[in-house]
Structure 1
Amino acid sequence: MYVQELEPVAGSLGLSALVAALPLVIVLVLLGGLRTKAHLAGLTGLSGAVLVACLAYRMPLDQTLSGAVQGAAFGLFPIMWIVVNALWVYRMTVRTRHFDVLRRSFGRLSDDPRIQALVVAFCFGALLEALAGFGAPVAISAVMLVALGFDPVRAAVVALVANTAPVAFGAMGTPVVTLAQVTGLPLDSVASVVGRQTPLLALVVPLVLVWLVDGRRGLRDTWIPAVACGVAFAVAQFAASNYVSAQLADIAAALAGAGALVAVPHARVPASEAVRTSVLTGARSGELDEEDPRREVVRAYAPYGLIVLIFSVAQIPVVKDRLAGATRTFDWPLLDVAAPNGEPVGANAFTWPVVSTGGTLVLFAGVATAAVLGLRARTAAGEWLATVRELRFAILTVTSVLALAYVMNLSGQAATIGYAVAAAGAGLAFLSPVLGWFGVAVTGSDTSANALFGALQVTAARESGLSPDLLAAANSSGGVLGKMISPQNLAIACAAVGLAGREGDLLRKVLPWSLGLLLVMCLIVVGQSTFVFGWMLP
């Protein structure tokens, strides 16, 4: 048995923490300073974590490598299993051109560009985040806004800022699933707290978007639809994450937000020519004027309805128990690790949710989608393989980062850093979202940031007397605000709207919003750690 040590370097917590932080420093410097490709940075950081575990923490090499393999396995299943199948559903709608039908349907909801920004960037962007994540919502939303006549810079900024509130539950809940796994906290408890933080952002972001589109006039004219959209989104995200399923949180929120916009009379008031002239400075795509048969519109919306239906059925107690019956748990080979107190750690065993995981449920929805859209089995299978090829570097990045996180957690490196960080005391509640924000700003992924810093946050929370659930959730909730300034997302936005090389211009426009909303989240977490907002927690 390998027993974790907290102070393996010269018996000093400070020195041990500095050595333990080396793998994270390597990743952050390579990504943020040298702009190395993410998968190469992840593999290099993993190598550093293995060396620190073996040389400084004296963890046996076989156990170190076994821990890394378990992390990579978790990165493949269920994490990337969810992402691959979700993006596959989207690719099939593009292949059959039903995505274009959906885009035209959105364009006909309102001729007011401020409302269009809410529908496309906030609501539909959240739906794309729920299904795919990893930059897809920014790219697709920005392209759709440009087609509607938005200036490319404005379209990119709106898409980036809108991609905040849904991120923590993106890709069918992948970030919170990862957070629960690396921290050992129950998924329901982590998702519940995140679902009491990010909905508060959803109340603000729609107002920010109409300001970005049309300034003070946009806020004055369309604040009612913006508030209605934000409230509906927030309520649905809170309810789904706390009482239904974390995987359905963003889908429910996106549909509720869009439904609120349709229901509010102010959203259907035609925009004045002065507004359209000042806001729509680009060329509107003539394709938007095409009429689509009602049958094709229904088929365009069908994939999302199927996902909601299948996930809802999976939450019925009888069905849920039957699906959980296929879950397999077994001892992980060559791994026998105990915490500093001598208690075995949970990672000694590996749980494989064969059917009940979100990725398998999305796969079922994908098969049904192929049938509804009229795709042949051979064509649908080809799209699935093309999705895997498209995501090959993302798969390598996620598996290497999860392997790094597992090595750091199992060897004791994360615990050492956590104990050192706990010295911040009460200030830790304020700094916790900042750490998540920094992690996402550098890695471009809330999933990766949760894998890197989740266990650290929990250890620090326990040592400082704060709620582990609160700080773990704060890592994810703060992280969503770093998404808009991550080099990865900036590059995606620029490439989507033809602004290659102008990432710096976008950064200057979105950075103030990122920092301002981060401050709001820090204050929320501080309040939730005290009697001020403590009543909000479950």
Structure 2
Amino acid sequence: MEWFQVYNPTGNLWLSALVAFIPIALFFISLVVLKLKGHVAGFLTVLSAILIAIFVYKMPLDKVIYSFVYGFLYGLWPIAWIIIAAIFLYKLTLKSGYFDILRESIIAITPDQRIQVILIGFCFGAFLEGAIGFGGPVAITAALLVGLGLRPLYAAGLCLIANTAPVAFGAVGIPIIAMAGVVNVPALEISSVAGHMLPPLSLFVPFFLIFLMDGFRGIKETYPVALVAGGSFAIVQFYTATKLGPELPDIASAIVSIAATTIFLKFWQPKNTFKFDSDIGGEQTLSVKSYTPKQIILAWIPFVILVFMIIIWTQGWFKALFAQDGILAFTSLKFNFESLSNIIQTAPAVSSDKAVKSVFEIPLILAVGTSIFFTALITMVVLRINIQTAVQTFGETLNEMKFALLTIGLVVGFAYVSNYSGLSATLALALAQTGDAFAFFSPIVGWIGVFLTGSDTSSNLLFGTLQQLTARQLGVPEVLFLAANSVGGVVGKMISPQSIAIACAAVGLVGKESELFRYTVKYSILLVIGIGIFTYLLAFVFTDLIPM
């Protein structure tokens, strides 16, 4: 039985939009006001969306339930699988002891603590963001900077700011991969636009970090190395994001940036060595051991292998093996949700008379998470990690991530209920009434989403369809607003309650989250305004810069 979506169930578009906004408002209240846990807030949000879909939008009960189940499963595969595999790999390197060697190999490069902050907070943090994401990079790098002599609040704030540039491509590109699945747009197209928008920010961040530490004097003394670190990162980020897709920009950019900066520092050091004094931090407390080249190579080898594995997984010839007529097609499982195939999108902005996606596919091998998992297995052999330790580590990973994975499943479930019932379309049709001004607000929507959820992935899942449909209403390339949602979200990460809590916990400042928030919020607001202006110019002035 076919069911045709209705986008103005109350007869007044703005009133219908207000009703459709209730689940999002409830999510905001649950997190910010009631301070509920993420999975509890996600459950209440899904429940409210289901009730509105049934009683206001008159969506049949079976189609509502299947929409949620489809979304929840998509949250588990491929999204959750990527997170589990990435954290499993990280934990293996940690238990092997080689992660400490990798960390200290960076610290030993220079005695100047301004440059150490760039290497650890920006370069190494970007590498961790690309490999594991979801709060881990800020926690690790903030703890390291405290060991380098920074005041805890200062270290946490700098790490949150440094973590902006790589967030859109974090956890092996999952924010954009997840959005692409929901809006049915190739991930490479969204990645390519983001790859045009983010490099200026990536180039700016190292200079901004130095300015926060040592003002214009610091920039004058260290601008060559800031230019090398930020410039090399931005160039590789642009190339990988526009040519290869969202999986590699962070990892490849971070590795190249670390290598370029390290080589540059062999030939150049600032005239004055900067050390944090008692007004800013304490004495440098982290002792750096000396390691052999072999030890350092082994410490980096798991992540070098990861780069090559992801490159293979993203190649056309490899994907062809799993196509319908490929020799490995049997490794992809498919389930048809027949009830969903009868949901018909009726508004021109939603692709007129088009049935929604109803076949759920589980690519067991082709999934990016599987490439990371295979890397972990190879790492076990290279670093001589016994099977018992690996099995125990995998179990620990699942246990630690259980509520985070539940939250992701619920958020994705809400995204699909919102999309398949027509709630997102209602919001898009209403926001389209604001006209061209929405181009400025597009990244601010993503900024709000990351503030609410603590995740660029969750923000993209919540608002991806909204951005897409609004772009269609305004006649703007949809990939611009989709990318703007993710790019705006990266500067929302530094004020997200979840990120603030993680950073404070890492440096021993639990209970002082409001202080850290006050430190970062002003910079976050200024940056998102700048991104909003940039998005508006791309939409209506420099339209030729948008890759099509």
DSSP-derived class of the 1:493 partner:
helix
Q: 1:418 aligns with which of 428, 444, 452?
A: 428
**Preserved CA contact (<8 Å) 1:111 1:271:** no
One-letter amino acid matched to 2:365? V
Say if 2:417 is the partner of 1:407: yes
One-letter amino acid matched to 1:384? F
Aligned position for 2:465: 455
Aligned position for 1:359: 369
Q: TM-score, normalised by structure 2?
A: 0.94
DSSP-derived class of the 2:9 partner:
coil
Shift of 1:42: 0.4
Q: 1:386 to 1:77 in 2, by over 3 A?
A: same
Q: 1:345 to 1:162 in 2, by over 3 A?
A: farther
Shift of 1:353: 2.6
DSSP-derived class of the 1:185 partner:
coil
Shift of 1:259: 2.2
**Preserved CA contact (<8 Å) 2:222 2:270:** no
Shift of 1:215: 2.0
Aligned position for 1:61: 61
One-letter amino acid matched to 1:68? F
Residues 132-151 of structure 1: pairs in structure 2 closer than 5 A: 132-151=132-151
Residues 76-87 of structure 1: pairs in structure 2 closer than 5 A: 76-87=76-87
**Preserved CA contact (<8 Å) 2:112 2:273:** no
Shift of 1:330: 4.2
Q: 1:317 to 1:453 in 2, by over 3 A?
A: closer
Q: 1:530 to 1:53 in 2, by over 3 A?
A: same
Aligned position for 1:107: 107
**Preserved CA contact (<8 Å) 2:244 2:314:** yes
Residues 223-302 of structure 1: pairs in structure 2 closer than 5 A: 223-265=223-265, 268-269=268-269, 272=272, 275-277=275-277, 281-286=281-286, 288-302=287-301
Shift of 1:285: 3.2
Q: TM-score, normalised by structure 1?
A: 0.96
Aligned position for 2:545: 535
Structure 2 CA distance for aligned equivalents of residues 33 and 145 of structure 1: 32
Say if 2:128 is the partner of 1:128: yes
Residues 16-35 of structure 1: pairs in structure 2 closer than 5 A: 16-35=16-35
**Preserved CA contact (<8 Å) 1:139 1:492:** yes
Aligned position for 2:476: 466
Listed as ranges, the gaps of 5+ residues in structure 1 are none
**Preserved CA contact (<8 Å) 2:149 2:276:** no
- Deviation sequence 1:129-185 (CA, Å, 0-9, x none): 111111101000001111122221221111000111110110111100111112121
**Preserved CA contact (<8 Å) 1:112 1:276:** no
Aligned position for 1:322: 321
Question: Which range is displaced more, 358-367 or 372-381?
Answer: 372-381
Say if 2:504 is the partner of 1:503: no
**Preserved CA contact (<8 Å) 1:303 1:365:** yes
One-letter amino acid matched to 2:47? S
Structure 2 CA distance for aligned equivalents of residues 152 and 494 of structure 1: 8
Aligned position for 1:382: 392
Structure 2 CA distance for aligned equivalents of residues 279 and 119 of structure 1: 23
Aligned position for 1:39: 39
Structure 2 CA distance for aligned equivalents of residues 102 and 535 of structure 1: 39
Say if 2:337 is the partner of 1:332: yes
DSSP-derived class of the 1:338 partner:
strand
- Identity value in percent: 38
**Preserved CA contact (<8 Å) 2:105 2:296:** yes
**Preserved CA contact (<8 Å) 1:129 1:137:** yes
Question: Which range is displaced more, 40-49 or 505-514?
Answer: 505-514
Structure 1 CA distance for aligned equivalents of residues 490 and 411 of structure 2: 18
DSSP-derived class of the 1:58 partner:
coil
Say if 2:376 is the partner of 1:350: no
Provide the aligned C-alpha RMSD in A: 1.7
Aligned position for 1:183: 183
Structure 2 CA distance for aligned equivalents of residues 393 and 359 of structure 1: 19
One-letter amino acid matched to 2:305? L
- Deviation sequence 1:506-527 (CA, Å, 0-9, x none): 1111111111111221121111
The number of residue pairs the alignment matches comes to: 536
Residues 469-508 of structure 1: pairs in structure 2 closer than 5 A: 469-508=479-518
DSSP-derived class of the 1:391 partner:
helix
Aligned position for 2:8: 7
Q: 1:271 to 1:442 in 2, by over 3 A?
A: farther
DSSP-derived class of the 1:269 partner:
coil
Q: 1:353 to 1:289 in 2, by over 3 A?
A: same
Structure 1 CA distance for aligned equivalents of residues 289 and 83 of structure 2: 32
Residues 422-461 of structure 1: pairs in structure 2 closer than 5 A: 422-461=432-471
**Preserved CA contact (<8 Å) 1:66 1:333:** no
Q: 1:265 to 1:108 in 2, by over 3 A?
A: closer
- Deviation sequence 1:111-145 (CA, Å, 0-9, x none): 11111111101111011111111110100000111
Q: 1:512 to 1:157 in 2, by over 3 A?
A: same
Aligned position for 1:306: 305
**Preserved CA contact (<8 Å) 1:528 1:537:** no
Shift of 1:379: 1.3
DSSP-derived class of the 1:188 partner:
helix
Question: Which range is displaced more, 29-38 or 429-438?
Answer: 29-38
Say if 2:222 is the partner of 1:209: no
One-letter amino acid matched to 2:8? E
One-letter amino acid matched to 1:95? K
Structure 1 CA distance for aligned equivalents of residues 87 and 180 of structure 2: 23
Listed as ranges, the gaps of 5+ residues in structure 2 are none
- Deviation sequence 1:7-48 (CA, Å, 0-9, x none): 112x22111111111111111111122211111000000000
DSSP-derived class of the 1:247 partner:
coil
DSSP-derived class of the 2:434 partner:
helix
Q: 1:212 to 1:533 in 2, by over 3 A?
A: farther
Aligned position for 1:222: 222
Structure 1 CA distance for aligned equivalents of residues 7 and 405 of structure 2: 32
**Preserved CA contact (<8 Å) 1:129 1:250:** yes
